[in-house]
Amino acid sequence: MPASKSTAKPSPGAKAKKPAQAAQKRGKALPARTGGKAAPSLAAQVESALVWLKSHGSEQGRKGMARYAIPSDKAFGVSMKDMQALGKRLGRSHELAQGLWDTGWHEARMVTAFVGEPERLTAAQMDRWCRELDNWAICDTLCFFLFDRTPLAWGRIEPWSRRKGELEKRTAFALLASLAGHDKEASDEQFVEGLRLVERAAPDERNFVKKGVSWALRRIGRRNRALHAAALAVAKRLAASAEPGARWVGKDALRDLTRPAVVKALASSSSSRTARAGPKAGRS
């Protein structure tokens, strides 16, 4: 006699599939790894990421964005911690980064910074993303987690510093600030040239430009004692300027660069380098 519906056992495949299907329907699970199976299409990967982001967004998150002048009309309201978690899970993929960017969703574009492959970026692609920025958060995240890791980074600063758009121009200085913190191989001369760009752009009174310019000036000044002295000289000139924007940048940088904690950290760093170099010199 055929088994009734109440006693029939599901096949092992069907049994294993149900939790994954349920999680995908709820949108709570992270996009799954392929585990040796054929990788999903790019469109499917992008859609899966959007489903996950939507499930982790909230109205409270969107309201928080508005408080920080981040447009929320095409955003889910996802926390930075969750966006970074998704980026780590997805891994680096140049194609996926482009697909996420092209959705136009705020969080998808933020995740682009965590999945893009620095070595595969082109100047044209960086220029395009720079042009399409619509808020400072994506600008700074791209610079801090992706753009400053590509060998093209230094070549984009000067041309972007001449851009007319407020966010495009900010990107030049957000990238300069990021390089000041992350590029251990760059020479002091490169940052001295950066200070020239800072001084040239400082009179721009637009909010996101002047804050980006100040950020770059402060980060360069924290790099080492020689650059600290050079940055202080620039900050003092700007603070005495007749231009309101330049004055604001100069005073903002001076407050930071003259703080006892900053001066002490630079002195300590210099002493450590001298101590490490001493024994080497003695063996020559």
Domain match, 110 and 182 both:
no
Regarding whether 200 and 123 lie in a shared domain, the answer is yes
Domain closes at, from 116, 142, 174: 116
pTM of the full structure? 0.82
- When comparing pLDDT for 6 and 119, which is higher? 119
Within this chain, do residues 170 and 100 fall inside the same structural domain, yes or no? no
Please report, as a single letter, which amino acid is at residue 70.
I
Q: How many angstroms separate the CA atoms of 6 and 8, rounded?
A: 6
Model confidence over 166-193: pLDDT tens digits? 999 999 999 999 999 999 999 999 999 9
Looking at beta carbons, which pairs linking 112-116 to residues 24 or more positions away fall under 8 Å? 112/142, 112/146, 113/87, 113/138, 113/141, 113/142, 113/144, 113/145, 113/146, 114/83, 114/84, 114/86, 114/87, 114/88, 114/90, 114/145, 114/146, 115/87, 115/90, 115/91, 116/92, 116/146
What is the residue whose two structure tokens read 């904690």? 261
Same domain, 232 and 104: no
**Do both 190 and 256 map to the same domain?**
yes
Residue 151 backbone dihedrals phi, psi, to 5 degrees: -65, -10
Residues 47 and 155 in one domain: no
The reported pLDDT for the residue numbered 269 is: 78
pLDDT in tens, 190-242: 999 999 999 999 999 999 999 999 999 999 999 999 999 999 999 999 999 99
Same domain membership, residue 182 and residue 48:
no
How many domains does the structure of the chain reveal?
A: 2
Are residues 167 and 139 in contact, defined by beta-carbon separation less than 8 angstroms?
A: yes
Pair 129, 263 in one domain = yes
Return mean pLDDT, the chain.
88
pLDDT digits (tens, 9 = 90+) for 107-163: 999 999 999 999 999 999 999 999 999 999 999 999 999 999 999 999 999 999 999
Residue-wise DSSP of 94-146: HHHHHHHHHT--HHHHHHHHHH--GGG--HHHHHHHHHT--SHHHHHHHHHHT
* Cβ neighbours for 69, distance < 8 A, ≥ 6 positions apart: 135, 136
Asked which of 116, 139, 160 is the last residue of a domain, the reply is 116
The domain boundary, picked from 116, 140, 156, lies at: 116
| Closest of 107, 103, 3 to residue 54, by C-alpha | 107
Higher-pLDDT residue of 20 and 166 is 166
- Same domain flag for 261 and 165: yes
- The residue among 191, 149, 141 whose CA lies nearest residue 167 is 141
Identity of the residue numbered 104: G
Kindly state whether residues 139 and 112 are assigned to the same domain: no
42 with 101: CB under 8 angstroms? no
State how far the Cα of 157 lies from the Cα of 159, in Å rounded to an integer. Answer: 6
Domain extent at residue 127 = 119-273
Residues 206 and 140 in one domain: yes
Place of tokens 């996950």: 52
* Cβ atoms 211, 218 nearer than 8 A: no
pLDDT digits (tens, 9 = 90+) for 63-83: 999 999 999 999 999 999 999
Same domain, 89 and 208: no
Q: Percentage of the chain surpassing pLDDT 90?
A: 80
